[in-house]
Structures are given as C-alpha cells and as structure tokens.
Structure 1
Amino acid sequence: MLAKTLPQTAEVSNWSTAWVGLDAVLAVGLSGTGLLLGRHDPRAAPLAAATAALLLMDAWFDVITAAPGSARAAALALALCAELPLAAACAAVAARPAGPPTAR
C-alpha cells in the first residue's frame, strides 16, 4: 500500500540536520559501546544492539537516497566497507553472553 501511495520524490526541510543528527547519534553509540566494552560493563550489549540497528538503517537510507552513478557507488562502498561491518561487530557484542558485572 505504501509503495503505491507514497510520492516518488519529496522536498525535505532540514535534510542536512537530520543526517548530521543521525551521524552524531551513531558516533555516540559507537563510542559508548567501546567505552562500556573497555570497562566490561554489561550495558554495552543493549547499546551495541541499538547502534547496530541504526547502522543498518543508515546504510539503507544512504544507498537508497543517493543519486544514481558515482554518488550511489560511494554510498554502496561505504555501506559495504564501514557501516555493515560495524553493524555486524555491534550485533556480535550484543549477542554475546553477559558476564558478571565488575566491581567499581
């Protein structure tokens, strides 16, 4: 239903703000996951799961919204070489068994 009813194109306000905001959230998620992993903190798993989901979404929208040609090729290369491998790494962190919390 959506595929038939949504417009093929749309003009969007604050497009760059939306993408910069998503990239900032990804940076926080990746940094936070790394920090929590370094501390052996079990909260790394849910943060890694959320970050993996956002990375998949980012890769999808980057590729789908890129203009045909070199822009789409660059988006696809970034997805295959950076976003998808990072998502897989985050998913692996999220899926591993949680150890006992460390004393602080």
Structure 2
Amino acid sequence: MGRVVRIAERRIGQVLIGSGLALIPWVVYLHVGMPATAQEARWAWTWTGLDALEALALAGTGWLLLRRDARASLTATAGAALLVVDAWFDIMTAGVGEDLVWAIVLAVVAELPLAAVCARLAWRGFPPVRAAGAGGGPAQRAHVQRCVSVRIS
C-alpha cells in the first residue's frame, strides 16, 4: 500500500509541476493581451471578499493556535498567501501619487509582516520530511504524530 501511495504522490507532483509550467504561456498571453484599464461592476465585492477571507484565515489561525491544534498550519498557509496577494493587488491597482504611497506603506507595515508571521507558523507546523531509509525512528514518528493529531473537545 505504501508503494502505491508514493507512486500516486509522484504522479500528482509531476502533474502539478506540469500545470505550473503550462501556465507560463498563459501568463505571457494575459500580460500582452490584457487592456491597461478595465471597468468592473463588482469591484467592491472583489476587495471585500479578499479582505473577508484574510480575516477568516487570521482569526481561524489564532483560534486554532489557542487550542494548540496542528491544523493552524493550514489556515496560516492560506493567510500568508492571501496577504501577499492583497499587498500585490493593492500596489498594482493603486493610482499614482498618494494612493500608491499608502498601498506600499500598508504592504510594508502590515500585510507583508503578517504574511511572514503566517508563513513561519505554517512552516513550523509541518513535520520535517526525510528520504526513505534516512532514519526516522521513534522520535520522528512521535513528532509526526504530534503534528497531525487533532484535538477533539
């Protein structure tokens, strides 16, 4: 059974790498083909939705950390990604002048530092992975068990 799982993980890894590489021409096409400006009827929903997802990720991570729940690493991962995306889009969609300055300040002072904290929490929550045959005795198994155990209460 373990060999089947490793083969499946390898195949999934190959598909994900291929998918990422396949997106490169699409990104180039979008960059060249997209108009410089656009009107969006749901602009407010776009930003409030992104910020609401960030709030859920941050609050969820905090709540799971207080409960000492290892799943906090999952919400921290999502929070880090959302905060980086928010900083990027804030800066890229800001007008010139004061709007751009405030977008950069917000990114540097709040969004990116919070993203770094979340990324660190996410990284800390995942157990180290060792190659097959590279050790991994009882201490590593205990560490993995602590990282994946779920507190039910």
TM-score, normalised relative to structure 1: 0.93
Superposition RMSD in Å: 1.4
Out of 34, 39, 54, the position equivalent to 2:82 is 54
Q: Distance in 1 between matches of 2:121 and 2:52?
A: 21
CA 1:44 to 1:97, structure 2 compared with 1: closer, same or farther past 3 Å? closer
Find the counterpart in structure 2 of residue 5 from structure 1.
33
Within a 5 Å distance, the mapping from 1:47-86 to structure 2 comes to 47-86=75-114
TM superposition outliers: structure 1 runs of 4+ over 6 Å: none
Deviation by residue 1:83-103 (Cα, 9 ceiling, x = unmatched): 000000000000004562346
Quick one: distance in 2 between partners of 1:86 and 1:32?
14
Q: Which has the higher contact order (CA 8 A, sep 6+)?
A: 1
CA displacement 1:33-89 (0-9 Å, x = unmatched): 000011110110011001100100000000010001000000000000000000000
Gapped regions of structure 1 (runs ≥ 5):
none
Give percent identity, aligned residues only. Answer: 47
Structure 1's 56 and 40: CA in aligned 2 closer, same or farther, altered over 3 A?
A: same
**Alignment correspondent of 1:30:** 58
Please tell me whether Structure 1 or Structure 2 has the larger radius of gyration of its CA atoms.
Answer: 2
CA distance in 2, matches of 1:27, 1:37: 15
The aligned amino acid for 2:109 is C
Could you list the runs of 5+ residues in structure 2 that have no partner in the other structure?
Answer: 1-28, 127-142
